[in-house]
Amino acid sequence: MEPIISTKGLKKIFRIGKVDVPALRGVDLRVQEGEFVAVVGPSGCGKSTLLHVLGGLTSPTEGHVLVDGNDFRGMSDADRTRFRRHKIGFVFQRYNLLPTLTARHNISIATHIQGNGFNPHRFQAVTSMLGITEKLEHRPYALSGGEQQRVAIARAVICEPKILLADEPTGNLDTENSQIVLDMMRELNRTFRQTILMITHNLEAAAVADRIIRMRDGRIISD
């Protein structure tokens, strides 16, 4: 079977003034549809950069990226944005919820941006799986950290993205809320065969995944 994500010789070099900062130094990665992959490694080793490149948030400096059959080379920014809206759900470490909107609207707005219409059955299935049906009329300030994180996950998966990319989704949570969020990710993976790539610093979090990728200095050192 063709992998849903495949990269070859992927490099990303940031340029600050006259200094080149290599964040990715040649990453070869293949992820099959339905896999739940954890990405671990020390701070600064390129984990977020890898996720941003795979999600079309940043373009690679060199190398080959195929995501669900789409080649990023030669794609314009507009094409990559469109691609991202339709194929990728992104969970940011800091949630990025809109403070003036209720949980319900924070989630449903993603379907309006994507433009494929609101699916009430999907909304019901996702919010009940994430255990937030009672909290939908709350604005972010009236939600706990774990609830905000679950709303952010609901927003990321509401449009049925083929791939869920999560940058430390339990980074700001206590043990109990981390466990709730991890159980939900596992459940999404099992129930919807959701492909997930999750960055984490937490070994317990990594243990729920099918596969652990270790990075160091912009490379994968074990898989």
- The one of Mg ion, ligand ATP, none whose footprint includes residue 43, by CB under 5 to 8 A per kind, is ligand ATP
Which residue from 24, 29, 40, 48 is in contact with Mg ion, where contact means CB under 5 A? 48
Q: How far is the CB of 128 from Mg ion (least distance, A)?
A: 31
Q: How far is the CB of 112 from ligand ATP (least distance, A)?
A: 29
CB-wise, 48 or 106, nearer to Mg ion?
A: 48
- The one of ligand ATP, Mg ion, none whose footprint includes residue 1, by CB under 5 to 8 A per kind, is none
- The one of ligand ATP, Mg ion, none whose footprint includes residue 89, by CB under 5 to 8 A per kind, is none
User: Are the C-beta atoms of residues 195 and 4 closer than 8 Å to each other?
Assistant: yes
Contact footprint for ligand ATP (CB under 6 A): 14, 16, 21, 23, 41, 43-49
Buried/exposed code over 94-104 (b: 16+ C-beta within 10 A; e: otherwise)? ebebeeeebbb
Separation CA 158–CA 110 (nearest Å) = 7
Q: Are strands 36-40 and 70-71 parallel, antiparallel or unpaired?
A: unpaired
- The one of ligand ATP, Mg ion, none whose footprint includes residue 21, by CB under 5 to 8 A per kind, is ligand ATP
Closest listed residue to residue 84, CA positions, set 105, 53, 61: 53
CB-wise, 50 or 132, nearer to ligand ATP?
A: 50
Q: How far is the CB of 218 from ligand ATP (least distance, A)?
A: 7
- Sequence-distant (≥ 6) Cβ neighbours of residue 134 within 8 angstroms: none
- The one of ligand ATP, Mg ion, none whose footprint includes residue 9, by CB under 5 to 8 A per kind, is none
Q: How far is the CB of 179 from ligand ATP (least distance, A)?
A: 21
Orientation angle between helical segments 175-192 and 120-129, nearest 10 degrees: 140
CB-wise, 154 or 215, nearer to Mg ion?
A: 215
CB-wise, 45 or 185, nearer to ligand ATP?
A: 45
Q: How far is the CB of 107 from ligand ATP (least distance, A)?
A: 26
